[in-house]
Amino acid sequence: MALALFDLDHTLLTGDSDYLWGCFLVEQGIMDKDIYELKNKQFYEDYSQGTLDMAAYLEFQLSVLARFDRSTLETWRRQFVAETITPIIAPGTPDLLQFHRQRQDTLIIITATNRFVTEPIAKLLGVDILLATDVETNEHGFTGRPQGIPCFQHGKVQRLREWMLDHHETWHGSWFYSDSLNDIPLLEQVDNPRVVDPDDRFRAIAQKRGWPTITLRK
């Protein structure tokens, strides 16, 4: 048995759940199209280029959660997962997850996207362990601030190491699947890095480092 780690957005999914959550809020008339949509697109481009200011992005994205009560947010989230996320599960995702289940590996989704958005997606995929950017709460609901270390770039490595220490796990035989330049720090740690459906820039890096490239989209 070994750790089998999976990025979520553009890896197990063919789109970005964080970005699409913002699009969903605009489409439902919950957030202003002219202002919110423009910022959402810009942050998405920054992430894709590996230049995202994570603190600024979290302030933008998580502030929405603080504006509404939990029940209302969860109603919107159920609609979002059913209508937007289910159709973009990559065709190869079920077989890949089943491959690691048959090996009796420990499956973990590890994603920069916040836990509120990704928790039901992990359940939909049948993955019990989720490491995501956590959102601070109080007696009134979400505060709009992150809690702890954001699960992004080197933060993914730190969050995983903390989890491994708590669960007495090691890197031996470990796997990690990701599409993103932002995940190079974690890909460097595992025994079996796998680059999934990368853009041309990341494909070149993977080839240079000898990291196998796979697709889940065919």
pLDDT, residue 33, reads 82
Question: Which residues does the annotation mark as catalytic?
Answer: 7, 9
Check whether 140 has a pLDDT greater than 90: no
Check whether 14 has a pLDDT greater than 90: yes
Residue 113 sits in a domain whose CATH number is 3.40.50.1000
Check whether 32 has a pLDDT greater than 90: no
Alpha-carbon span 68 to 142, nearest angstrom = 9
pLDDT, residue 58, reads 85
What tokens does 62 get? 């998580």
| 180 CB-near residues (< 8 Å, 6+ apart) | 7, 9, 10, 11, 50, 202
Alpha-carbon span 41 to 202, nearest angstrom = 21
What value does the mean pLDDT take over residues 130-149? 93
Q: Which helix (H) or strand (E) holds 207?
A: helix 200-209
What value does the mean pLDDT take over residues 160-189? 98
Alpha helices in 52-129 (DSSP H): 54-66, 70-80, 93-102, 115-125
CA 40 to chain centre: 16
Query: How many structural domains is the chain composed of?
Result: 1
What value does the mean pLDDT take over residues 34-62? 86
Of 102 and 32, more confident:
102
Alpha-carbon span 154 to 160, nearest angstrom = 10
**What amino acid occupies position 63?**
S
Of 52 and 156, more confident:
156
User: Domain range for residue 66?
Assistant: 1-218
* Degrees to nearest 5, angle at CA 82 with 80 and 86: 105
Alpha-carbon span 187 to 176, nearest angstrom = 6
